[in-house]
Chain A
Amino acid sequence: MAKKGLQTTDKDIINLAKIVGEKEILFKKADLLAYDCDGFTIHKHLPKAVVFPNSTKEVAEVVKYCDLNQLPFLARGAGTGLSGGAIPLNGEVIISLVKMKRLLSVDLENRRAVVEPGFVNLKLTNSIADKGYYYAPDPSSQYACTIGGNVAENAGGAHCLKYGVTTNHILGLEVVLPSGEIIDISTNGVLDLPGYDLLGLLTGSEGTLGIVTKITVRILKNPEAKQTVLAYFDKVEDGSQAVSDIISSGIVPAALEMMDKTAIEGVEAAAFPVGHPKDIEALLLIEVDGISVGITEQIKQILEVCKKRNVREVKVAQSEEERGRWWANRKTGFGAMGAISPDYLVQDGVIPRSRLPEVLARINKISEESGLRIANIFHAGDGNLHPLVLFDARKSGEIEKALAAGSECLRVCADVGGTITGEHGVGIEKREEMRFVFTEREIAAQTDIRDVFNPKNLLNAGKLFPSPGRCVEVKKEMKNARETFV
Chain B
Amino acid sequence: MITSDLLNDLQIIVSDERVVKGQNGDDFLGNSGRIVVKPESEEEITKILQYANAHNRKISIAAGGTKRGFGGITEAEDIELSLENFKGIMEHTVGDMTLTVKSGTPFKELQAYLAQYNQKISLDPFYPERATIGGIIAANDSGPKRLGYGSARDAVIGLRIAYPNGSVIRTGGKVVKNVAGYDMNKLFIGSMGTIGVITEVTLKLRPLPQYESVILLAFPDGHHEWMKSFAVELLDSMMEPVALELLSPTLSENLTGCRYYTVAISFEDVEASVHYQEEFVKKLSSSFANISILEKEKACQFWEHFYNIDHKESEKNETKATLKIAVINLDVIRVIKECEYLSDIHNLKIEGHGGFGHGLCHVHLSGAVEDVKTAITQLRKLATELNGYAVLKYLPLKLRQEINVWGEEPSYFSLLKGIKEKIDPKKILNPGRFVGGI
Interface residues, chain A, with chain B CB atoms under 8 Å away: 108-111, 132, 153-154, 156, 160, 164-165, 167-168, 177, 181, 183-185, 188-201, 203-205, 209, 221-224, 244, 247-252, 290-294, 297-298, 350-354, 379, 382-384, 417-426, 430, 434, 437-439, 441-443, 445-446, 448-453, 464-465
Contacts and interface: CB of A to CB of B under 8 A. Distances in A.
B93 A354 contact: yes
Contacts of B269: 290-291, 294
Nearest to A185: B412
Interface in B175-207: 175-187, 189-191, 195, 206-207
15 contacts: A109-B232, A132-B238, A167-B183, A190-B328, A222-B238, A224-B239, A248-B97, A252-B207, A291-B277, A294-B270, A383-B176, A442-B169, A446-B184, A449-B184, A452-B418
A100 to B, nearest CB: 21
B429 interface: no
A33 to B, nearest CB: 29
Contacts of A203: 183
A354 B181 contact: no
B290 interface: no
A224 B238 contact: yes
B412 to A, nearest CB: 4
A424 B178 CA distance: 10
A173 to B, nearest CB: 11
B423 A291 contact: no
Given A291-B273, A382-B176, A196 B236 contact: no
Given A190-B388, A193-B410, A441-B167, 15 more contacts: A109-B235, A168-B150, A192-B140, A192-B326, A194-B391, A195-B410, A195-B434, A201-B184, A221-B236, A249-B207, A350-B177, A439-B169, A445-B184, A445-B423, A452-B422
Interface stretch (B213-221, B352-360, B367-375): B352-360
Interface string B371-409: 000000000000000011101000000000000001100
B435 A422 contact: no
A430 B179 CA distance: 11
Would you call the interface of chain B mostly helix, strand, loop, or mixed?
Answer: loop
Interface in B78-109: 93-98
Contacts of B210: 250
Leading 4 A-B pairs by shortest Cβ distance: A200-B186, A294-B273, A250-B207, A224-B238
B183 A190 contact: no
A303 to B, nearest CB: 16
Interface string B268-283: 0110110011000000
Contacts of B186: 167, 197, 199-201
A352 B98 contact: yes
A379 B179 CA distance: 15
A200 B177 contact: no
Given A250-B210, A353-B95, A382 B177 contact: yes
Contact of A191 (B239, B360, B413): B360
B316 to A, nearest CB: 32
B183 A204 contact: yes
Between A197, A224, A298, the greatest number of chain B beta carbons within 10 A of the residue's beta carbon is seen for: A197
A154 B360 contact: no
A200 B189 contact: yes
B187 A201 contact: yes
A203 B183 CA distance: 8
A448 to B, nearest CB: 5
B1 interface: no
Between A132, A164, A244, A350, the greatest number of chain B beta carbons within 10 A of the residue's beta carbon is seen for: A350
A145 to B, nearest CB: 15
A131 B35 CA distance: 60
Would you call the interface of chain A mostly helix, strand, loop, or mixed?
Answer: loop
A190 B326 contact: yes
Given A382-B177, A438-B181, A198 B415 contact: yes
B184 to A, nearest CB: 6
A204 B179 contact: yes
B237 interface: yes
Given A190-B388, A297-B270, A448-B422, A353 B179 contact: no
Nearest to A223: B238
B286 interface: no
Contacts of B436: 195
Contact of A437 (B180, B328, B419): B180
B40 interface: no
A323 B215 CA distance: 35
Nearest to B232: A109
A192 to B, nearest CB: 6
B173 interface: yes
A165 to B, nearest CB: 7
Nearest to A420: B180
A189 B331 CA distance: 12
A426 B232 CA distance: 41
Interface string B25-42: 000000000000000000
Between A247, A248, A292, A430, the greatest number of chain B beta carbons within 10 A of the residue's beta carbon is seen for: A248
Contacts of B184: 201, 445-446, 449
Contact of A434 (B93, B180, B190, B232): B180
Interface string B132-172: 00000000100000000011011000000001000101110
Contact of B173 (A194, A379, A419): A419
A185 B413 CA distance: 11
Contacts of B388: 190
B95 to A, nearest CB: 4
A422 B183 contact: no
B151 to A, nearest CB: 8
Contact of B187 (A197, A290, A350, A450): A197
Contacts of A249: 207
Given A200-B153, A200-B189, A294-B270, A383 B177 contact: yes
A252 B195 CA distance: 35
Given A110-B329, A222-B238, A252-B206, A153 B179 contact: yes
A417 B277 contact: no
A160 B210 CA distance: 23
A221 B153 contact: no
Nearest to A424: B179
A401 to B, nearest CB: 24
B76 interface: no
Given A167-B183, A426-B180, A445 B169 contact: yes
A248 B235 contact: no
Nearest to A247: B97
Nearest to A296: B272
A441 B175 contact: no
A384 B411 CA distance: 38
Nearest to A383: B175
Contacts of A224: 238-239
A247 B96 CA distance: 8
A196 B154 CA distance: 16
B429 to A, nearest CB: 13
B324 to A, nearest CB: 8
B54 interface: no
Contact of B94 (A165, A248, A445): A248
B208 interface: yes
A160 B177 contact: yes
Contacts of A441: 167, 169
A204 B182 contact: yes
